[in-house]
A = this chain, B = another copy of it.
Amino acid sequence: MPVFLDTTSPDFEPAFQTLLSAKREDSPDVDAVVAQIIEDVRSRGDAAVIELTAKFDRLQLAPGTLAFSAAEIAEAAAQVSQQDRAALELAADRIRAYHEKQMPADHEWTDEVGATLGWRWSAVSAAGLYVPGGLASYPSSVLMNAIPAKVAGVKRLAIAVPTPDGQVNPLVLMAAQLSGVDEIYRIGGAQAIAALAYGTETIAPVDKITGPGNAFVAAAKRRVFGKVGIDMIAGPSEILVIADKDNDPDWIALDLLSQAEHDESAQSILITDDAAFGQTVAQAVEKRLETLQRRAIAGPSWRDFGAVITVRDLDEAAALSNRIAPEHLELCVTDPVGLSTKTIHAGAIFLGQYTPEAIGDYVGGPNHVLPTARSARFSSGLSVMDFLKRTTLSQMTPQALRAIGPAAARLAQSESLEAHGLSVLARLDRLND
């Protein structure tokens, strides 16, 4: 049974606190193993990657076969049904169109003292994208990571995807092809992250690594951070649905289950201003759980971490939503746009009853890589910004230096940084000659 809470109950606050602080994930501590793997790949390169792939993926590779060949990719793509290809293309087009609008502009201006200031954006030169193998090998995640990188202007985009026993999902290769990925390596785990970060004889190092992965991949990303940039370390998925009674309870139940089916540690929460509606939705969830293919995953998630919260009104719902700071937030209410201006801490908002969260996982356009575990309070989903960096620009004229240089020299002196001050004063001396 999920937990049922009611804000009018005197023990609501401690119960809500418990819900907020529930620890949903116990990551195994694989840091020592991962440190060894990284060291091994750094010192022995391809040889280490090949040995580790034989060990973990039961796949014997040679340096020349680490990467998929163009012929192999074409062959895999040919296996994809016309319907799947069309769906992937529609998704890719929409994701590309959305992310193209995110591209930030360079800016430059001259201010009142004559200083020219500004900034310029540029793409990272090379990026690596990790794609999990097996069950969680999602072609949609390839699109969501690779397209923003290519829109940002990343010249060289490499994918690492493990192929246990040589098995690969043809849709993953096709998604890579549609996204313009340049290199695809059939390697995985910490060894793949190490190879991307430090390079081997056949794999050139990248500057940034993104993409989801298991505990080994996450630990390896943490370890190579600094040598390369990384994206967030994602936790289990979450959805918060705020719904009034004018909704089909089965639709809401399916929306809750669409996160629950990801992972036993996923969390689905319903907030409603109608207690009876909450009960009806909970019954609809149980009914769907009787037949759902992934009920062995969705069931424990819903029972262990699910919640139905009854509130007095939607303002209270917004306040609770901001404390939860959900990854996904569905607003199934009469005025979803109005309510969305109050729910400011959320990774992605889905407005109205015709916008199930699953649309955003595939074809909506916005990215589906989003902040989990309340981190929407301070971070954003993946975007073109993750593959860009900003260089600031300053140019003083003699006039500008005369106007603001003395203040710089004064502050340098107050911080006991003499050379800082002298570098300004030596120039002012000449100008004032």
A interface residues (Cβ-Cβ under 8 A, vs B): 83-84, 86-88, 90-91, 94, 97-98, 101-102, 104, 107, 109, 111, 115-117, 119-120, 122, 124-125, 135, 138-140, 171, 207-208, 226, 228-229, 233, 248, 250-251, 254-255, 257-258, 260-262, 288, 292-294, 298, 336-337, 340, 344-367, 371, 373, 375-381, 383, 385, 389-398, 400-401, 404-408, 410-412, 414-424, 426-427, 430
Q: Are B354 and A255 in contact (CB-based, < 8 A)? A: no
Nearest Cβ on chain B to A98's Cβ, whole angstroms = 6
Closest to A331 in B: B395
Q: Are B101 and A107 in contact (CB-based, < 8 A)? A: yes
Closest to A117 in B: B365
Q: Are B414 and A171 in contact (CB-based, < 8 A)? A: yes
Closest to A402 in B: B354
Candidates B248, B260, B421; contact of A358 at CB < 8 Å: B421
Q: Are B255 and A348 in contact (CB-based, < 8 A)? A: no
A122-B344, A375-B226, A408-B358 known; A394+B415 contact, CB < 8 A: no
**Cβ of A124: which chain B residues have Cβ within 8 Å of it?**
377-378
Q: Are B359 and A394 in contact (CB-based, < 8 A)? A: yes
How far does the alpha carbon of A229 sit from the alpha carbon of B381 in the complex, in Å? 14
Nearest Cβ on chain B to A321's Cβ, whole angstroms = 11
How far does the alpha carbon of A108 sit from the alpha carbon of B191 in the complex, in Å? 42
Q: Are A419 and B345 in contact (CB-based, < 8 A)? A: no
Q: Are B411 and A377 in contact (CB-based, < 8 A)? A: no
**Cβ of A400: which chain B residues have Cβ within 8 Å of it?**
354
Closest to A376 in B: B389
Name 16 extra pairs, CB < 8 A, besides A91-B407, A229-B375, A251-B423. A83-B410, A87-B407, A90-B407, A91-B411, A122-B345, A250-B426, A254-B419, A254-B422, A254-B426, A261-B417, A340-B393, A349-B393, A350-B394, A352-B395, A353-B427, A359-B394
Nearest Cβ on chain B to A269's Cβ, whole angstroms = 16
A378-B208, A411-B363 known; A419+B347 contact, CB < 8 A: no
Closest to A386 in B: B378
**Cβ of A91: which chain B residues have Cβ within 8 Å of it?**
407-408, 411
Closest to A425 in B: B254
**Cβ of A94: which chain B residues have Cβ within 8 Å of it?**
111, 404
Which residue, of A254, A355, A363, A381, has the highest number of chain B Cβ atoms within 10 A? A363
A117-B364, A117-B366, A377-B207 known; A411+B88 contact, CB < 8 A: yes
**Cβ of A294: which chain B residues have Cβ within 8 Å of it?**
416-419
Candidates B262, B350, B396, B417; contact of A262 at CB < 8 Å: B417
How far does the alpha carbon of A350 sit from the alpha carbon of B416 in the complex, in Å? 23
Closest to A123 in B: B344
Candidates B348, B354, B416; contact of A135 at CB < 8 Å: B416
Nearest Cβ on chain B to A38's Cβ, whole angstroms = 16
Q: List 6 A-B contacts (CB under 8 A).
A: A115-B364, A226-B373, A350-B394, A354-B396, A363-B404, A364-B396
Candidates B125, B258, B364, B395; contact of A336 at CB < 8 Å: B395
**Cβ of A356: which chain B residues have Cβ within 8 Å of it?**
423-424, 427
Candidates B86, B229, B248; contact of A379 at CB < 8 Å: B229
Closest to A391 in B: B346
How far does the alpha carbon of A181 sit from the alpha carbon of B325 in the complex, in Å? 25
**Cβ of A365: which chain B residues have Cβ within 8 Å of it?**
111, 115, 117, 394
Candidates B228, B262, B344, B357; contact of A378 at CB < 8 Å: B228
Candidates B86, B352, B380, B401; contact of A407 at CB < 8 Å: B86
How far does the alpha carbon of A81 sit from the alpha carbon of B400 in the complex, in Å? 24
Candidates B349, B359, B404, B422; contact of A396 at CB < 8 Å: B359
How far does the alpha carbon of A411 sit from the alpha carbon of B144 in the complex, in Å? 13
Q: Are B396 and A390 in contact (CB-based, < 8 A)? A: no
How far does the alpha carbon of A353 sit from the alpha carbon of B391 in the complex, in Å? 19
**Cβ of A345: which chain B residues have Cβ within 8 Å of it?**
122, 125, 389, 391
Q: Are B262 and A408 in contact (CB-based, < 8 A)? A: no
